[in-house]
Structure 1
Amino acid sequence: MPRGPHHYESKGACIYCGARDQSLTDEHIVPYSLGGSHVIRRASCLGCADMTKRFEQKVARDLWGDARTAYNAPTRRKRERRSHIAVADPDDRSRVLSIPATEYPAGFVFYQMGKAGLLQGLPEQLDLSAAWRLVVVSDDKRRAEYHERHPGKLALQFRHVPDAFGRLLCKIAYCQVLTALDPGDFRPICLPFITGARTNLSFVVGSSEGKPEPENGYSLSTMAFGSGSKLMLIAQVRLYANTSAPTYHVVVGDVSGRYDVGRVVEKLGPQDEIPPTSRPWFPDILPLPFWTSR
């Protein structure tokens, strides 16, 4: 994905429901509230735009609200942005501390997941999300300065929203693949998880272990594996990549048939020459039961 703001042309229909006879709005691949600057033009009908907005807001406000305020993340409501963050005193929960936003070392809470269930050859009925762990990315320097000013008064505030977070990753990954492909080029495996028609997000979403090297902004990429007649499309998503944030993978879709696989491979262009076993999203077994059962 190119650095800096970039626009991709409309697909001529809503990328989520396929509606053509309605007004279509632009779709930020990564939400604007999370710093997204890449946009698919006229990509979402009003109903689907409202659907994605709901889970995007849960992540932006409930999971990362204080952190976005503390680090002055983009917002369309700048006049409403708080100058102070209210923090419950850890030693007296009835007392509220008002901390200047520029001093508060709010952490970005992420979910560490393990490999997506589909890529482990597991059935969709097996939900792995109970094993997702919380990890916090914060500014060490600001946290140390805060402790000097307010010893023992640091409290992390957030709301647990694993479903919204997983759906957000699916939406970003789906849009990432659509920067190179059209909706009709592949079967969109992750789409029912975006819309909420299917709910076991751990089946298609996962993350790698370890702390990757910092990058600028966010990092998105499209990967593929398979054969000349069957191809699986994977998108890697890393938000706030300038920190030690996890790298996520999403099973976006698949392609069947030699002609269609060849056309998709041509559109995607050359893939990085990385040994399959060194890719954290590479399947544990091949062929995948997901494919052989269809």
Structure 2
Amino acid sequence: MEERNEPNIPRLDRHRFDGVGQCIYCGETDDLRDEHIVPYGLGGNLVLPDSSCGACAEITSRIELKVLRGSFRPIRVMRGIQSRRKHRGAPTKLPLQVRYGDEWETIELPHHEYPLLLHFLVYDLPGCLEPEAYTEGLRVRGHLTYSFGPRPEQVVKDLGADEIRVSQTDGPSEFAKMTAKVAYSMAVASGAVDPRRGRPEVVRSVLGELNEIGRWVGMVSRPRQWIRDVLHYVGIKRDREHNLLIGEVQYLTDTGTPTYSVVLGTLDDVYVTDLALRTPSG
């Protein structure tokens, strides 16, 4: 694991960028809403004003809520990450699948006793980098599991069980679409992409117009990074080898989680900046 130290990259708790004046997803100019680059429920206070119409905001919000109230909900509650409802309505106990011998059963444990296991999917390269191997959807190779709270082996011992299993309630598609939305909106905010000149193809997959999110979202081999006291990392990078503009997104950066890559366009089509973002925790 690599600890990366980049003092030249701004660390922003909150910021309002310049507004776009049209929906960055469809070009609509009426009924515009503020767009949170990183979802508010993940600690996102970086705002792109007047940049999402009501219809597109409903689509992206539905995607985000599927993840925020699914696999990410326990860690949001445990860490006290901001919530519009201040986590009212969040369950006080979480379901856990437990195996005793040949039988599985589901029990519920309070947060402080629960083995918070967060699965981060491992994707192949974005399909546009291997077009001969890509058809549709996502190409998932596996997952990496990160443990928060009590260690799983201790929970197994305390329960007198043979095995435990934590279910993940959101799908790989929602997570990939949310990640693409984060990278794209950051590219717009930083000036790397001007939606008034046309939207990247990945946007059509975010909105559900095409089932090709894996063509633009994936993972490029690179050292894992761990940045102290930082909740998330979003970067906009030049890939000169492939002549592409790439968004990089890493959630819970202080835990050394994987970095996801989002292809946003070619360097011929966009104005590129090296601006990146760290969102500090707490």
Give the drift of 1:236.
0.5
Report the secondary structure of 1:19's partner residue: coil
Partner of 1:14: 23
More helix by percentage: 1
Partner of 2:232: 218
Q: How many residues align?
A: 259
* Structure 1 Cα separation of the partners of residues 73 and 64 of structure 2: 12
Give the drift of 1:211.
6.2
Partner of 1:138: 147
Residue by residue, what CA displacement relative to the aligned partner does 1:234-262 show, whole Å, maximum 9, x if unpaired? 10110111113110110012354xxx76x
Q: Which has the higher contact order (CA 8 A, sep 6+)?
A: 2
Task: Give ranges in structure 1 of 5+ residues lacking alignment.
Answer: 272-294
Q: CA RMSD in A?
A: 2.8
Indicate if the aligned counterparts of 1:222 and 1:236 stay in contact, CA closer than 8 A: yes
Residue by residue, what CA displacement relative to the aligned partner does 1:210-230 show, whole Å, maximum 9, x if unpaired? 761322110011012459xx9
Query: Structure 1 length as normaliser, TM-score?
Result: 0.77
Tell me the amino acid that sits aligned with residue 5 of structure 1: R
Instruction: Report the CA distance shift for 1:160/1:23 in structure 2 as closer, same or farther (over 3 A).
Output: closer
Residue by residue, what CA displacement relative to the aligned partner does 1:262-292 show, whole Å, maximum 9, x if unpaired? xx24xx1589xxxxxxxxxxxxxxxxxxxxx
Instruction: Report the CA distance shift for 1:194/1:146 in structure 2 as closer, same or farther (over 3 A).
Output: same
2:54 is equivalent to residue 46 of structure 1: yes
Alignment map for 1:65-84 (pairs within 5 Å): 65-77=73-85, 78-84=87-93
Report the secondary structure of 2:196's partner residue: helix
More strand by percentage: 2
* Structure 1 Cα separation of the partners of residues 185 and 275 of structure 2: 20
Residue by residue, what CA displacement relative to the aligned partner does 1:155-204 show, whole Å, maximum 9, x if unpaired? 21212511111111111110110112231356512111111112122211
Indicate if the aligned counterparts of 1:82 and 1:101 stay in contact, CA closer than 8 A: no
Indicate if the aligned counterparts of 1:211 and 1:245 stay in contact, CA closer than 8 A: no
2:33 is equivalent to residue 25 of structure 1: yes
Task: Give ranges in structure 2 of 5+ residues lacking alignment.
Answer: 1-9, 277-282
* Structure 2 Cα separation of the partners of residues 223 and 130 of structure 1: 23
Report the secondary structure of 2:116's partner residue: coil
Report the secondary structure of 1:80's partner residue: coil
